[in-house]
Structure formats: structure tokens, C-alpha cells
Structure 1
Amino acid sequence: MKKNQKSNKKIKSITLLGSSSGRNAGDAALLNSIMADLKKLDPNLRFEIPTINPSFITKSFSKYNAKPISMLPWHFSIKMLGFPTFLSVARTDMTIIFDAILFDRALYNPLFNFLSTLYFLIPFAKRKGKKIVYYNVGVGPITTTIGKKMLKKISEMTDLITVRDSQSIQILKSLKIPESKIFLTADAALNNTPSTEEHTEKILSSEKIEKDKPLLGFNINTYIDTWVETGKEPINKSSFLKDIASVLDKVIKDLDVNVIFFATQHMDIPIISKVIDYIKNKDKVNLITNRKYSNQEIMGLLGKMELFVGMRLHSLILASAMNTPILGLIYQDKVRNYLKELNLEKQKIEFSNFSADNLFNIIKKSWYEREEIKKHLTIRIEELKKKAKKTPKMVIDLL
């Protein structure tokens, strides 16, 4: 009798809404971690993932019983705004919003901003009787009146909100979202699984990365002159790239290291390649990209760095998850917020204070303090991983 009851139990399904194009290693790590953690609690769960890259979802996540929902234009969709996403939300039992898509920059451009689409999508889901969850999200920036109105409306309709940083709580509290349904956890990607030690070593060998000297990892992104705000003159991209190159030439010489650039977003490869063009000691530099390697492989490689300097948030998250000492280049609040959650506010350089000398000095200081930073991370990262693990149980209980 019990066997029949178990077999008749309805298989639950979840729509995952976030960035799922396969172009960003951080987004891929989030998807992987979220589904892996939820499947550990309910192996029968089924997922639907609206995406502009269905083949990526099939190739990467079929093991989780994840089905891609095409958001390509010929399926009557402009990114998330379209029939495929609405139908997916109507089919599944729950919709999970993940990552950092709750901001109001370019609010009326559905190719870039998802908040305006969610403003219509979430009420539709609630009318269908579906559960809505923010899953370890980062909220903001929200700077416009209409943006605040949209975020308030959809947040009031959620059944559960877990956020990855304290500032997200403050934004939601300012909109008078009930504190009873908001929980401070941590970023889901912290619990991503890196590639094995053996596989990571094979990559180092195949990329001809010399291990005779310590390795320093580095990451920059394309948002230097768009998202970055200094309160002064706009950042000059050409000057910035030349400064990075000159600093790394000095780092290579003075600290006697090899440098590994990590491109964790496809769009960042050209700008990183440009920096490498400016570097004189090219024989001491390698480039690892997520066009060639998976998020798990990149995570494994980040674990081999003695120090990692990064702009992209999830490059820093994946590195620190491996207890690699980090230094953040602050181009957005979310990077600053993560360092606060790590209790490593000093491990940063603000663009308002950026210069080649300042960057070199803080890299040098971080280099000589790396063992101390690593010891701190060993404790703090374990705490944050446990906090991130709270969300899957809350989600399953809600289902």
C-alpha cells in the first residue's frame, strides 16, 4: 500500500528564472548549485529553464531532469518576455528567481532588464496559484520610482525571500516588505562542486601553465565605462587597460609570479585579450575562458591561485569558495557587499581611488598577507556555505 502511495505522489516541478544563456560561468554555477542542492532533498524534482541557449541547458543540466524552454525570437519571445516563459510558469508548481536580476537599469529594455517582465509575469503566476521564491538573490540597484514600485509589487507576492547580502534586506525593508518572509543566507554558487584535483592538474598541463612559480589570478570585465561610477571623470578604458598591464608587469617582476587571466563571461574575452596585448612579459601570462571550460573546471583552477584579483562578482565567489585569498575591484555595490559578508572589507580597491600605484600597492600588500586571508576564509566560507544550504530545505518545505 505504501509503495502505491509513493508511486502516486505528484512529481513537483520548478521554473528557474535568471540568467541562463551559458555565457556566464557564475550564472552556470548558480544553476548547477541550486538544482544539485534541491535534488538531494527531492530526487524526483523536475526543472524548466527559460533560456536563449537551449543546447547549453541540455548539455549541462540534463542530469537534473532540467528541460530548456526556448526564449528565442521565433518562439514569440523577447528574452523572458514571451509565451514560452509564461506557459512554463503556468505548468510548474513553483517559480524561483535567482541571481541578481532585480534591478532597474534600462528598465524598459526586455533584452537587458528582467524586472519589467517580472512585473507582469509574477502576478500571472499568483493568479495561477503558483509559489514564488527569491532564491539567495542580490537585490538592486533600484534608483527609480517606477523601479521601486515594480520591485515592491512582485516582492509582496513572493512566498519566500532569501537574499545573499545585508544590503538586499535593507532595500526590501525600505519598500516595507514583511521581514517575516525575508532570510539572510548566502550565494548559492559557494556550494558549487569544483572539478577534481586530477582533472584540474590535467588542464594546467594542457594549457602549459608553468607551476615553477606561484600563480596570481586576475579578472576584469567589459563594464569599465558603463556600470562603473566614480563620482569623478568617467573611467577611460584605454588608460585603465594600460594601467592594468603595467601593474601586472611589475607584479610579475617584483613578486616573481605567473599570471592567469580568467574570463568568466564570453563578452569579457576581447577586453582581457587587449590587456594581455599590452603586457610585456607575455610568456608569464595565460588565459582561461569559460568558452572553453565549465564553471566547475574554472572553480578548480581558481583553487590553484595564491591570490585572485577580480571584478566580476562570481569570479570572486568561486575563488573564495576554494579558500583562495581575493581582492575585489569594486565596479558595483554587489562586489562590495560580498566582501562585507566575508568580513574582508579591506580587500578592495574602489574605482574612485584607482591608480596604477594604488592597485600595485594593494596587490603587494594582499600577496604578503595571503596566508592570513586564507585562514580567515577557511572559517568564514564554511559559515556562508551552511547559510546558503538553508534555502533548499525551505523551498522543499514550501513545495
Structure 2
Amino acid sequence: MSEIVISGYYGFANAGDEAMLAAMIEVLTDLDAGVNITVISGNPAETRQKHGVAAVYRLNYPEITRVLAKCDLLISGGGSLLQDVTSNRSLYYYLSIMLLAKQLGKPVMLYAQGIGPVCGSLAKGAMRYIGNMVDLITVRDEGSRDELKRLQVTKPRIYVTADPVLAIHPVDKQIGRAILRKHDCEGASPLVGIAAREWKDWSHYKQVLAQAADRIAAEFGARIVYLPMQFPEDAAVARKIARRSRQPAALLNEEYTTSELLSLVGNLDMLISIRLHALIFAGVMHVPMIGISYDPKIDRFLESVGDCRVGTLKSVTADRLLTKVRQLWPTINGARQLQDERLNALREKAFYNAELAIELIAAGKKQR
């Protein structure tokens, strides 16, 4: 029986990160039904309840040391853990967990991470020092591999794979229909979702989304629904945008599970998103997507499926959004063969992350 510890941004009510964890657990247990997984979490009780795994608090270093001491592998990831744009402290925190595992003689794998940007000189040095200690790295895009090269992280084997969520199984749409029914959206056609987020209290992109939502509703007869990927923050942003609109919209004002959000996205005819994992959910559920970028990870994912952003939070306009909607509208009935082929290839790469993790454990056991 293998013991895996997973370190990441878990237990913070972020649907994208919780979906990554759910996908990792799903695929790892598919490959090894006997594996025991312990998650380092901001809310261990919630993580245990949601995911059915053991969990320890992320700042309880004695307990973290205990679980690392008996594990066969530390997985760091997925997500954008190793960057210093949104936070300096978080990068050092995740590196400290990796360093602790190595000091205990344990193999460490960076699992489908989106690396960077890493800008500070101290942060770069820490990344280079600890990054070269780990045993195996998989990254979710070519840009992350380029960032590792720039940081001079060269000793571990490095593979370009795909975001873990792309390996998650599609879910039944009935769950989402039941939620939409509560908001008088069940059966609404067409249904266009918007997944927004707050960013530095900027107002421009909120006004653009409000204008675009009104124009989409008028031109296509669409019902607009706002999805909260991180609750309650995203629900608060949705209210700010909706207040700027003339047309009514449905605001989903609850915290939803990964399965519920996947099902909700599956009921959409199109999704406009600032959130990476909302875009990935659209890919998993075969829904046309439009991405607005606030971070290189958005651009990298869209490029991987043969698409590009419609703009950044600073540059996006309602006209450009409407042009993209008109271009995509003929595909809402499923005519997306090329993108689906690329998503299927990415799904296989997402599975490969777990295969490499299981192989690393097996190799470590042979050496004992």
C-alpha cells in the first residue's frame, strides 16, 4: 500500500483548486486502488468531508512532518503555486514543504504545475535551489517549462503534460439542471455563463462584461448566468457587474462542489471566463469558451486548445467580445471537432501525470 501526501492550495473554497484535487485523487486511485492519500489543507475537516481522504492543517508543521515521514511520495500541485505575483509568502511556503520532504529523504514530484512568473531575486534563487532537489517535474504547458529553464531548474526530469482537471470524468447534466431550476433558468435557451473574478478593484472589465452581457441577451435572446468559482468572492463581483447591466441575469449565490459546477457548465451554450478552471470545465463538458486573460496561465491554456484570449482585463472591449461570440455561435450545437481532438489529447496528458507519480513510487520502493 502506497502513501501519498499532496500539498497545494486546498481547503480555501476555490472551485478550480478543489477540482484539481478531486481529479488527482480520482486518477491516482484509478491507477492504484490501495493508495492512501493525505492532503495538506487550509480546512482539513472540509477536505476530509469533500474528498474522502485524510487531511492535516497546512500550518501544523509537526503533523506535516509526521505524515511526510511515513509517505512514499510528496506531490506538490497542481496549480500556480510557484509564482510571486499574487503572493510572495505562498511561494516560500510551498517550497518549504518540498524542502522538508527532501530533508526526510522522500521523493518529491511537482505535479502539473503552472510555473511563474517568478520575479524577485530571492525567489528565483530559492526556486533554483529547491527546484533542482526534486525528483520529477510535470508542468501543464510549454510556458512553464520555459520558466523553469529561465530559473535554471534543470536537474529533475521535466515533462509537459496538462492540467489535472482535464482528466476528470464528465458528469451528468441533471445536477446542474436542478440548480438552474431554482434560479428560473432550467430550459432557458440559449444560456450563456460568465465566470468573473475580482482583480485589483479594477472597474473597466466589469463595465465591459456588463455591456457585453446586455448585447448578448439582446442579439441572441440569451439568458445570462454568473458562476462563482470562488465563493463568496466571485458572487460579489457578479453582483457588481449585474448592477451595471440593464438586462436581468441569474446570479448563483452559493458555494458549489466540483461536480455541481461541472454540471452547471455542461448546461451552458457558451462560457465567457476570467477563471482558468471554468474554461477547463467548459473543455471537459464540451462547451464553447471565450477567455479573458489576467495571467499567462489563461493564454497558455487557450493556446493549447488552438485558441487565444479575446483580450486582457485592461484591453478587452464589448465589441471584441461580441465579435468572438458571433464567431463561436455556430459551434454551440457541437461543430468543434478540432478543439475536441486537442482536448482529448490533453486529457491523455493529464492522465500521464498520475502514471508518472505511480512509477516514481514504484522506483523508490525498489531501491529500498
Q: In structure 1, the residue corresponding to 2:171 is in which secondary structure?
A: coil
Residue 83 in 1 paired to residue 62 in 2?
yes
Match of 1:20 in 2: 10
TM-score (norm 1): 0.84
Match of 2:54 in 1: 67
Structure 1 portions without partners, runs of 5+: 1-10, 72-76, 226-235
After TM superposition, give the deviation of residue 319 of structure 1 in Å. 1.0
| Residues 209-258 of structure 1: CA deviation (Å, up to 9, x unaligned) | 14242111111101254xxxxxxxxxx42x43233212211110011111
| Residues 74-100 of structure 1: CA deviation (Å, up to 9, x unaligned) | xxx3xxx74333333233221101121
After TM superposition, give the deviation of residue 179 of structure 1 in Å. 7.1
Which of residues 69, 76, 80 is equivalent to 1:100?
80
Match of 1:183 in 2: 159
Q: Counterparts of 2:226 and 2:108 in 1: how far apart (Å)?
A: 38
Match of 1:8 in 2: none
Match of 1:363 in 2: 325
Residue 250 in 1 paired to residue 215 in 2?
yes
After TM superposition, give the deviation of residue 143 of structure 1 in Å. 1.3
Match of 1:207 in 2: 183
After TM superposition, give the deviation of residue 58 of structure 1 in Å. 1.7
What is the 5 A alignment of 1:330-369?
Answer: 330-345=293-308, 347-368=309-330
* Corresponding pairs, count: 359
Q: 1:215, 1:257 within 8 Å by CA — same for their partners in 2? A: yes
Q: 2:74, 2:109 within 8 Å by CA — same for their partners in 1? A: yes
> Which residue type is aligned with residue 299 of structure 1?
L
Q: 1:303, 1:319 within 8 Å by CA — same for their partners in 2? A: yes
Residue 376 in 1 paired to residue 338 in 2?
yes
| Residues 313-363 of structure 1: CA deviation (Å, up to 9, x unaligned) | 111111111111111111111000101111112x52223432333333333
Residue 138 in 1 paired to residue 114 in 2?
yes
**Per the alignment, do residues 373 and 202 of structure 1 end up closer, same or farther by CA in structure 2, a change over 3 Å counting?**
same
Q: 1:173, 1:179 within 8 Å by CA — same for their partners in 2? A: no
After TM superposition, give the deviation of residue 370 of structure 1 in Å. 4.7
Structure 2 portions without partners, runs of 5+: 362-368
> Which residue type is aligned with residue 183 of structure 2?
E
After TM superposition, give the deviation of residue 371 of structure 1 in Å. 5.5
Q: 1:323, 1:377 within 8 Å by CA — same for their partners in 2? A: no
> Which residue type is aligned with residue 83 of structure 2?
F
After TM superposition, give the deviation of residue 175 of structure 1 in Å. 2.7
| Residues 261-316 of structure 1: CA deviation (Å, up to 9, x unaligned) | 1110012111111212222221xx21235x43211111112112221110011111
Q: 2:195, 2:275 within 8 Å by CA — same for their partners in 1? A: yes
Which of residues 253, 263, 287 is equivalent to 2:251?
287
Q: Counterparts of 2:173 and 2:277 in 1: how far apart (Å)?
A: 21
**Per the alignment, do residues 176 and 23 of structure 1 end up closer, same or farther by CA in structure 2, a change over 3 Å counting?**
same
Q: Counterparts of 1:31 and 1:317 in 2: how far apart (Å)?
A: 14
Residue 55 in 1 paired to residue 45 in 2?
yes
Q: 1:185, 1:388 within 8 Å by CA — same for their partners in 2? A: yes
- What stretches of structure 1 move > 6 A for 4+ residues in a row? none
Q: Counterparts of 1:355 and 1:108 in 2: how far apart (Å)?
A: 32
Q: Counterparts of 2:246 and 2:115 in 1: how far apart (Å)?
A: 41
Q: 2:265, 2:287 within 8 Å by CA — same for their partners in 1? A: yes
Q: Counterparts of 1:397 and 1:216 in 2: how far apart (Å)?
A: 42
Which of residues 259, 262, 265 is equivalent to 1:299?
262
| Residues 46-102 of structure 1: CA deviation (Å, up to 9, x unaligned) | 11112121221121111xxx111023xxxxx3xxx7433333323322110112100
> Which residue type is aligned with residue 301 of structure 1?
L
Residue 45 in 1 paired to residue 35 in 2?
yes
Q: 1:324, 1:374 within 8 Å by CA — same for their partners in 2? A: no
TM-score (norm 2): 0.91
Q: In structure 2, the residue corresponding to 1:305 is in which secondary structure?
A: coil
Q: 1:210, 1:258 within 8 Å by CA — same for their partners in 2? A: no
Match of 1:268 in 2: 234
Q: Counterparts of 2:151 and 2:244 in 1: how far apart (Å)?
A: 47
**Per the alignment, do residues 197 and 370 of structure 1 end up closer, same or farther by CA in structure 2, a change over 3 Å counting?**
closer
Q: Counterparts of 1:177 and 1:158 in 2: how far apart (Å)?
A: 10
After TM superposition, give the deviation of residue 180 of structure 1 in Å. 6.3
| Residues 118-155 of structure 1: CA deviation (Å, up to 9, x unaligned) | 33332321121101001111101111211111111221
> Which residue type is aligned with residue 286 of structure 1?
A
Query: Could you tell me the percent identity over the aligned residues?
Result: 24
Q: Counterparts of 2:335 and 2:288 in 1: how far apart (Å)?
A: 6
> Which residue type is aligned with residue 256 of structure 1?
G
> Which residue type is aligned with residue 222 of structure 2?
V
What is the 5 A alignment of 1:308-327?
Answer: 308-327=271-290
After TM superposition, give the deviation of residue 165 of structure 1 in Å. 0.4
Q: 1:261, 1:286 within 8 Å by CA — same for their partners in 2? A: yes
> Which residue type is aligned with residue 341 of structure 1?
S
Q: Counterparts of 2:31 and 2:334 in 1: how far apart (Å)?
A: 36
Q: In structure 2, the residue corresponding to 1:193 is in which secondary structure?
A: coil
> Which residue type is aligned with residue 334 of structure 1?
K
After TM superposition, give the deviation of residue 369 of structure 1 in Å. 5.2
- Indicate the larger mover: 172-181 or 246-255: 172-181
Q: Counterparts of 1:369 and 1:48 in 2: how far apart (Å)?
A: 42
**Per the alignment, do residues 377 and 300 of structure 1 end up closer, same or farther by CA in structure 2, a change over 3 Å counting?**
farther
